[in-house]
């Protein structure tokens, strides 16, 4: 006796609404940064933008993790941003799937590097306190990491770089 198929949400797919949610999360912090630094763009002002870009890159890496606790949390985050973006984007209408046709995969060294990066991020947050701007930008990276458009560009650049670095360090061990 076969069980009927369950209609569960699909992980690893991003909708246009999910990309909209990710871009909106990025736009929130970028707009606040721009409003406070638009008169003088100095090196110090640009360095204030760096944590946002690093958190977006980290979020894109998380969604490319194959499994484990880190991958499951990223999948759950993507699963939650898609419906929120679908509701906001289409006012309840469905939105198309905009997932990249070919998935980037992290190598075993890349997965190890993501764990090390996670530990570093947790160490920074435990020292400086909980930061909602980090959470927003990590969710933004999770939502944009699989997108096929320019929004997914961060995943195309960051994944091979982290995989290479992780494999290089693993080769030295």
**Tell me, what's the pLDDT at 4?**
42
**Residue 10: per-residue pLDDT:** 43
Give the closest residue to 120 by CA, choosing from 133, 140, 134, 106: 134
Tally of domains in the chain: 1
Q: Are 142 and 58 in contact (CB under 8 A)?
A: no
Quote the pLDDT of residue 12. Answer: 67
- Encoding tokens for residue 18? 């999910």
Judge whether 57 and 134 are in contact, CB under 8 Å: no
Does any domain span residue 24?
yes
- Does the residue 162 lie in any domain? yes
- Domain with 110 in it: 16-33+43-94+106-172
Does residue 139 form part of some domain? yes
**3-class DSSP assignment, residue 97:** strand
Cα–Cα distance measured from residue 49 to residue 60, given in angstroms and rounded to the nearest whole number: 17
pLDDT in tens, the chain (173 residues): 554 443 334 456 777 778 888 888 899 989 998 888 777 778 888 888 888 888 888 888 888 876 777 777 777 777 777 777 667 655 556 676 777 666 677 888 888 888 889 898 888 888 877 788 888 898 888 888 878 776 667 777 888 888 899 889 887 55
- Assigned domain for 128 exists: yes
Distance of alpha carbon 29 from alpha carbon 44, whole angstroms: 17
Residue 6: what pLDDT? 35
pLDDT of residue 5: 41
Kindly report whether the global pTM for this prediction surpasses the value 0.85.
no
Is 81 a domain residue? yes
* pLDDT given at position 90: 58
């Amino acid at each position: 006796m076969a069980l009927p198929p369950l209609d569960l949400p699909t992980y690893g797919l991003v909708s246009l609404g999910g990309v909209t949610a990710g871009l909106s999360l990025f736009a929130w912090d970028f707009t606040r940064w721009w409003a406070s630094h638009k008169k003088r763009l100095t090196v110090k002002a640009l360095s204030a933008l760096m944590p946002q870009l690093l958190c977006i890159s980290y979020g894109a890496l998380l969604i490319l993790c194959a499994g484990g606790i880190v991958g499951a949390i990223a999948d759950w985050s993507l699963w939650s941003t898609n419906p929120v973006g679908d509701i906001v984007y289409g006012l309840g209408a469905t939105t198309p799937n905009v997932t990249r046709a070919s998935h980037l995969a992290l190598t075993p060294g890349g997965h190890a590097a993501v764990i090390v990066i996670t530990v570093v991020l947790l160490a920074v947050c435990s020292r400086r306190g909980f930061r909602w701007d980090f959470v927003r930008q990590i969710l933004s990276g999770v939502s944009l990491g699989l997108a096929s458009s320019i929004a997914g560009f961060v995943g195309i650049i960051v994944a091979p770089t982290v995989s290479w670095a992780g494999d290089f360090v693993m080769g030295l061990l």
